[in-house]
Amino acid sequence: MAKKKIKKSKETSVKKNEYVETTRKTKQTHIIPCTDCNTEIEVDLSVASILCGNCTMVKMIKLYGLPKGCAPKKKSDTVKPPGWHFYKEFVDKNGNVYHKGVEQPELFGTLKSTVIKTKKKTKTLSAREKEEISREIFAEIQENKKALHKLVKSGKTRGKKGLINKIQKLTKKVKKYL
Ligand SMILES: [Zn+2]
């Protein structure tokens, strides 16, 4: 039994060697350049031309674009105001028409782009700034009151109305800063 076993293993080992030799024979290679970038690649003799891995990837991306999640987000060149998709009708700078955020391709380019109103930022004043402004206005009111007093004393009526109006306007204005 033992002898037979040895014989068998010898036979298989010979077979293995034969197999290696045959594969070596069929795997004859040659070096050819990539058709796009000329990088030299070792290929099977049966291969006449090759596109290297890098060039294949570039070609695929050119054909199909970057895979999802890889592509950088397109920055829209048209500025849309916040809440534009709630607008009954919104036309962007390129002429795309949207009705409540839904594009209306049949209306493309038929309407003027929506004018985006930007709210002016009102500068918030500090308490000190408010006090200074109100003080200035109070001083102006005082001057006008003096002028009015003089006018009344002198018995003139010309310009009286104007002064009263001015004082009223200034008192209204000063209330904003109190
Ligand atoms: Zn290449």
15 in a structural domain: no
Distance from Cα 43 to the centre of ligand 1, integer Å = 14
11 in a structural domain: no
Distance from Cα 95 to the centre of ligand 1, integer Å = 42
Are 132 and 157 in a shared domain? yes
Distance from Cα 69 to the centre of ligand 1, integer Å = 25
46 in a structural domain: yes
Structural domain containing residue 141: 127-175
**Could you read off the pLDDT of 25-73 as tens digits, one per residue?**
567 889 999 999 999 999 988 999 999 999 999 999 899 888 877 767 6
**What pLDDT does 27 receive?**
74
Are 83 and 103 in a shared domain? yes
Mean pLDDT of 86-100: 90
**Could you read off the pLDDT of 101-157 as tens digits, one per residue?**
899 999 998 988 888 877 777 778 888 899 999 999 999 999 999 999 998 998 888
Are 37 and 61 in a shared domain? yes
**The three-state (H, E, C) secondary structure of the chain, written as one string:** CHHHHHHHHHHHHHHHHHHHHHHHHHCCEEEEEECCCCCEEEEECCCCCECCHHHHHHHHHHHHCCCCCCCCCCCCCCCCCCCHHHCCCEECCCCCEEECCEECHHHCCCCCCCCCCCCCCCCCCCHHHHHHHHHHHHHHHHHHHHHHHHHHHHCCCCCHHHHHHHHHHHHHHHHCCC
